Amino acid sequence: MSLQRRLMPYLARLLTSPGRERWRRRLLEWRRRLRRRPHEATFHFRVDDPYSLLMAQALPAFADHFGLRVLPRVMLYLDANLYPAPEMLRDLAPRDAAALAELHGLDFPAGATPPDPERSLAVTRCLLKHEGDERFWSLAHALGQALWAGDDERLDQLLASHGQQPEDQARLALEARRDQFLADGHYLTATLHYQGEWYWSLERLDHLARRLEDLGLGGGPWPLDYGAAKHARLDGPAPAEGTRLALYFSFRSPYSYLALERAYALADHYGVELEVRPVLPMVMRGLTVPRAKRLYIVTDAAREARLHGVPFGKIQDPVGLGVERCMALWPFAEKEGRLREWLLAAARGIWSQGVDVAGDAGLARLARDAGLDWNRARRWLGDDQWQARAEANREAMMAAGSWGVPSFQCGDTLIWGQDRLALVERAIKGGEELTVNNEQ
């Protein structure tokens, strides 16, 4: 094993450690106080991003509760290299946002389709003109709702009333902001940046709320449960007989690891069959994952892991041979009736124990942890039957409407992300009402 691979788990553990996070936060807070700066966050808003619209509705009350100054930064252009399947995301995001809006009592048009690019640019130019105004939030809400609802008459009224920044000036500003956004280390809009950390969409406001509470802000807990989508309730009636749940999973995905044990617990509770369908990671399917994206995913997964009590941080990247060897043992573990044990052992080994699955010693250790006979298991390493099955899983995932993992499929419902367990639960239970009580 190379020196770099030997050091990787220890460097990853340092990067993701809660001690490092606490030290860094204290340093940044000390600097803020020294400079006598207010508590301030930047919100990257994009009107054709439905998650941005949900955040824009939530942030005024959030900011008021904590005394946080939120500076909107209007975006439109993004780097296509950071989005492996942009058309699929454009189709999935509105459905996902509508489900989240229902869950949280927010507004988003049901059945919305992605808006026309020229209309999006016109709305963006209007918001750029009013970016520093107090009425930005109400204007963003009104314009966004009209845009996504396809209400052209209302949209034209708003644009005529509030005006727009000149187009050439707006385009130059938007291109510069796209480049700066990447240089700052992120790629997703609907994102808050506060004191060196990124918080994407509603499902990360719970992390920021706890951070602000630790600083003594807010005068009490944040009353709105914007982490609700992450947690299954594990209540209600049993689902219809024969209900099945599929989980598209990758050994190289930290979010797949975070979803795995919780998905099994959800399936166990409702007595449904969970079919885990492994696929190759994106980089082994010819898709790129730039450095800024990799760094954010690992640090974000670390705080999500702490939230759910999942061991995480001592990481040995399995990409390439390691993934192939884990995939090769998948049919054997399935044949032995130990697939669940193998998936859990391998994922824990990779993401929390720093086990190098590219070598025999590490793979043998995890196979034994899963209750597999290593002498028999190793014979499957030269068997390539997993390749056709992995490709079939990928094709099924794409046909269902997703390009990445973890994705859940229950009947005709496709849900993407480890932070959507409440929506997965709703699908299992037949789509019952999910609105949470957002009152203290």
For 231-258, give the DSSP string. Answer: -----SPPPPTT-EEEEEE-TT-HHHHH
205 and 330 both lie in a single domain:
no
Residue 53 belongs to some domain of the structure: yes
Shared domain check, 235 and 204: no
Q: Establish if 297 belongs to a structural domain.
A: yes
| Domain range enclosing 79 | 38-226
The answer to whether position 2 is within a domain reads no
Q: What is the CATH number of the domain that holds 414?
A: 3.40.30.10
219 and 241, same domain (yes or no): no
> Are 170 and 299 part of one and the same domain?
no
In sequence order, the 6+-apart residues with CB closer than 8 A to the CB of 138 are none
Is residue 20 a part of any domain in this protein?
Answer: no
139/100 same-domain check: yes
Same domain for 146 and 271? Answer: no
Q: What is the pLDDT of residue 239?
A: 84
286 and 400, same domain (yes or no): yes
**Is the separation of the CB atoms in 205 and 62 below 8 Å?**
yes
Indicate whether 157 and 271 sit together in one domain: no
Do 203 and 303 fall within a single domain? no
Q: What is the Cα–Cα distance from 339 to 165, expressed in whole angstroms?
A: 58
Contact 103, 423 (CB under 8 A): yes
Sign of CA dihedral 135, 141, 145, 148: positive
Q: 218: buried, middle or exposed (CB in 10 Å: 19+, 13-18, 0-12)?
A: middle
Helix/strand/coil for 104:
helix
Residues 285 and 154 placed together within one structural domain of the fold = no
Residue 434 lies in a domain: no
Element (H, E) at 368: helix 360-369
Residue 79 is encoded by which pair of tokens? 């780097």
The rounded average pLDDT for each run of 10 residues, N- to C-terminus, in the chain (440 residues) is 84 93 96 96 97 96 96 90 80 95 94 94 98 94 96 97 96 94 87 96 95 92 87 84 93 97 96 95 66 84 96 95 96 97 98 97 98 97 93 95 94 95 94 45
Contact by Cβ (8 Å): 288, 271: no
Question: What are the backbone angles phi and psi of residue 119, rounded to the nearest 5°?
Answer: -70, -40
Domain boundary among the residues 226, 249, 280 is at 226
Q: Identify whether 299 is part of a domain.
A: yes
Last residue of a domain, one of 191, 226, 261: 226
Q: Is residue 349 part of a domain?
A: yes
Same structural domain for residues 322 and 372? yes
Rounded to whole angstroms, the Cα distance separating 89 from 94 reads 9
The reply to whether 136 and 83 lie within a common domain is yes
How many domains does one find in the chain?
Answer: 2
Positive or negative: CA dihedral 346, 291, 386, 395: positive
Contact 438, 224 (CB under 8 A): yes
pLDDT for res 182? 84
204, 226, 248 - which closes a domain: 226
251 occurs within a structural domain: yes
Question: Token match 């099945």: residue?
Answer: 244
Predicted local distance difference test score (pLDDT) of residue 226: 87
